[in-house]
Amino acid sequence: MKRKRLPPEIFKIPVQLIKQGWYSDKYFIRTKEILQKDRNHNRVLMQVFARQAGIICGVDLAIAILKLCADKPQQLKIRALYDGEPIKKNETIMTIEGDYSTFAHLETVYLGILARASAVATAVRRVVEVARGKTVLFFSARFDYFANQELDGYAAYIGGPQGVSTDAGASWWQAQGIGTIPHSLIAAYQGDTVQAALAFDRYMPPEIQRIVLVDFDNDCIGTSLKVAQALGDRLWGVRFDTAENLQDKSVKGRGKNFRGVCPQLVFKARQALDRAGFKKVKII
């Protein structure tokens, strides 16, 4: 059964700017100009390969770029792997056969797409494999330029997590962003995590999982128990986000290896929740 590719229109490609070479290395623009002026229309076979093993991603977008932005896309013959396939070092990912003068200006664009998307998909896949079935959430949006969210979110999805944090990041597979509770909401409730959690529970639709951030007071265990008692069965999980230079109250004074979200903190919290009857509450 032949696999389907994402339709070109889903990507919202700035076709005219790409055709003009706005995003292309200058030497490719000059190459195109030279070939056209010299009437050099020899057919070439362009081979795109991977420098490292990993998970390939960005292929559908790269093909869409070629189909929408090449001079005579109908005359190109494109063969390629599918997003999500594992690749070996130096393995061929895609071949493009045709008059090079018609697509020379696109090399920077499609190579950049493949490089970035494959790097994200590969990194996320490694995390998912290490997690061994545990929930993995992709919250990278705040650390990068906002226009990268669609590509990065899709690449992360190919890597295998349970969700991404923005609607843009989830848009290419017709999903929505997911999230928990930020520190800012708790701060807006005068640092009262329970009140912030109750407000979230009061106004958010029931189908949204109640996952509460519990490190605002640097007492993850104590706050987790308070939130669990307040929300009861409606609480899906608690999230630890202790800063890497801080120690939670439960492990304070035990050395630098106990800073941030350390294993010992998680183990102690799990034990405390279980003892209090909250075995169903997950820790993220």
Query: For 204, which DSSP code?
Result: S
Poorest-pLDDT segment among 69-78, 148-157, 221-230, 258-267: 258-267
Report the pLDDT value the prediction gives residue 180, as an integer from 0 to 100.
87
Exposure b/e, 5-16, CB count within 10 A at least 16 = b: ebebebbebeee
- Which of the four pLDDT bands, split at 50, 70 and 90, describes residue 135? confident
124, 281, 283 from 263: Cα distances, Å: 21, 17, 12
| DSSP label of 158 | H
The pLDDT score that the predictor gives to residue 47 is 97
Quick check: 284 pLDDT over 80? Answer: yes
What's phi and psi for 3, nearest 5 deg?
-75, 150
- Neighbouring residues of 241: CB distance < 8 A, sequence distance ≥ 6: 183, 213, 215, 261
pLDDT over 70 at 170, yes or no: yes
- CA within 13 Å, CB half, 40: 11
pLDDT confidence of residue 258: 87
What are the tens digits of pLDDT across the range 27-50?
999 999 999 999 999 999 999 999
Q: What is the pLDDT of residue 212?
A: 97
pLDDT of res. 3: 84
Beta partners for residue 175, in sequence order: none
Question: Across all residues in the chain, what is the average pLDDT?
Answer: 95
pLDDT band at 1 (very low <50, low <70, confident <90, very high): low
pLDDT > 80? residue 12: yes
Q: Which two tokens stand for residue 148?
A: 């990268």
Residue 206 has pLDDT above 70, yes or no: yes
Percent of the chain with pLDDT over 70: 99
CB proximity list for 119: less than 8 A, separation 6 or greater: 54, 155
pLDDT in tens, 48-98: 999 999 999 999 999 999 999 999 999 999 999 999 999 999 999 999 999
Evaluate whether 15 touches 9 at the Cβ level (below 8 Å).
Answer: no
At 188, is the pLDDT very low, low, confident or very high (cuts 50, 70, 90)? Answer: very high
Q: What is the pLDDT confidence band of residue 179, given thresholds at 50, 70 and 90? A: confident
List of domains in the chain = 8-123 (3.90.1170.20), 127-170 (no CATH), 183-283 (3.20.20.70)
Residue 193's pLDDT is 98
